[in-house]
Amino acid sequence: MAFVGILAALAFFLFICYLLMSARHRARPKTWPLLGVLPNVVLNAYQIHNFVHHLLRKNGYTSHLKVPMFPELSHLLTSDPDNVHHILAQNSSNYIRGQGFRNIFDVLGDGVIAADGESWKLQRRLLHSLFKQPEFLKMEEKKVRAKVESGVCKLLDRAARSGSEIDLQDVLHRFTFDIACWIALGCDASSLSFEARHSQLLKAMDDIEETTLRRYFKPRVFWKLQRWMQMGVEKRGWRINKLFEFIDQQISLRRREPPETEGGEAEVIVKHSNITSRILSEEDQTELAAKFSNKNQLDKFIKDLVFSILTAGSDTSSSALAWFFWLVETNPSVKSNIIQEMRQAEHESHHVDHVWKFPNSHKLNYLHAALCETLRLYPAAPFNHRSSVKPDTLPSGHRIDGGTPVVIPMYTMGRMQEIWGEDCREFKPERWINDGSVVHYPSNKFCSFGGGARICPGRDLAFMNMKIIAAAVVCNYDLHVVDGSRIKPASAMVLRMKHGLKVRVTKKNIICRTSNHSSDE
């Protein structure tokens, strides 16, 4: 059977190569016998986000992509707001992650991103119980400020002094990875240090994003054969294994920490201000004890949850920030408005503190709007995957069977005139402001953080972190995008920049005020 599978995979590969070569020399049909639209998708894999956008625009924003020879590759794509509301909210119980998603994203295990049912509910409760604690938020704000000042600002200062180019996207990825490690594992990966120890871990995250997207349009037998033969993107699994080893080591270290026996509830929360320590401190409680009969099962549960946090909390935030800084630097009026808002919120000062304190960032509504506008145009997670449990009819009239994969492309939704008007391709933070307050659009129009019951539990935390670093960088530095830079999205499950964001840095002479001292101190 294994030999037959190998032959089938090789035959499929050769057939696809033939079709792609043929397609370059003559007009392609919309569909192919047996393979449906698959050759067109594969041919456009390098520009998958724009390909999906144009495909949906021509088909009323809902299209059923069928691959008769490989039914597992058939998907329903929709960015229709009524359909999105139906899937994410109105009939959300019928749309789960599903086994097909877990097959593609096997590295996520049963973590909160991939889980369904009771496992997902338990992980959501654990995350909410930590993220809503005032003591945790204070610790997180303090950690982020320190990391921005001692890590990000130090690297930008060094680049400004030397006049050298710096890949800002890489710096942001290191920053968000360190913060995600602190939240998930209670450790500092020190990725921003000049002698960074964990560069392979960061590359592993990029590998996962690219590999999983390509699995969407490869038969399972084919990509599993690639992994077995160590071919193509699947051969990068050794770096992913290094990431798992790192997580295992940190879980073991947290287990060896002495239990909290003294102090009040606030002190306990501070000590257990990371997901791993928090779960380990509660492992004897009824719910966890009933679900996990031994240490290995609990460690696997923690490992899967931690990996989801590292993926969702690191890659997505760094991607959003990279696009934000590029858009701000290429739209001078927006940058001017952000700086003006910061000066109004707190008068400029010669105080040497680089980092804007979070309590003050609540005042920065225009900055918040600019971040939302960035996520509209360049959603960090551009695809939202669901799978139907039972047959259903969408508001658009499309009938789907049970077990049908459904994909909502947020990249397309952010470029729909029907939602955002004729200026939908413009970077315009003002669309998020009404009478000085931030406008909150429903998830069937703006769902960069998901929607319904599965909305991102770390949304407020992400905005807090992004506003702290965005304010600090915009306030204290001018970024100059290197001439000739090719700014385009990567074909990956996280919408990072394919070639990074190469900039030169100039440090401003006047530092924005970041403390609560009066202006005449």
| 3-class DSSP state of 145 | helix
| Residue entry with tokens 């009771």 | 118
Alpha helices in 132-236 (DSSP H): 134-147, 153-162, 168-185, 199-215, 220-229
Distance CA 168, CA 163 (A): 14
Q: Are 374 and 483 in contact (CB under 8 A)?
A: no
- Whether residue 456 is annotated as binding a ligand: the answer is yes
Distance CA 187, CA 220 (A): 36
| Residue entry with tokens 């470029």 | 415
| Residue entry with tokens 């934000």 | 324
Distance CA 433, CA 416 (A): 20
Residue type for 163, please?
Answer: G
Which residues neighbour 439 within 8 Å (Cβ) at sequence distance 6 or greater?
Answer: 369, 431, 432, 433
- Give, for 437, the enclosing helix (H) or strand (E): strand 437-438
278: β partners: none
Q: Are 152 and 473 in contact (CB under 8 A)?
A: yes
409: β partners: 383
CA 459 to chain centre: 11
- Give, for 96, the enclosing helix (H) or strand (E): strand 95-96
Report which DSSP code applies to 1. Answer: -
| 3-class DSSP state of 372 | helix
Report which DSSP code applies to 456. Answer: -
Distance CA 205, CA 242 (A): 11
Beta strands in 375-421 (DSSP E): 383-388, 392-393, 399-400, 405-409
| 3-class DSSP state of 487 | coil
| Phi (first) and psi of residue 217, to 5 degrees | -120, 35
Radius of gyration of the chain (CA): 24
Distances (CA, A) of 214 to 38, 44, 209: 12, 11, 9
| Phi (first) and psi of residue 482, to 5 degrees | -65, 135
Q: Which residues are annotated as a binding site?
A: 456
Q: Which residues are annotated as a binding site for heme?
A: 456
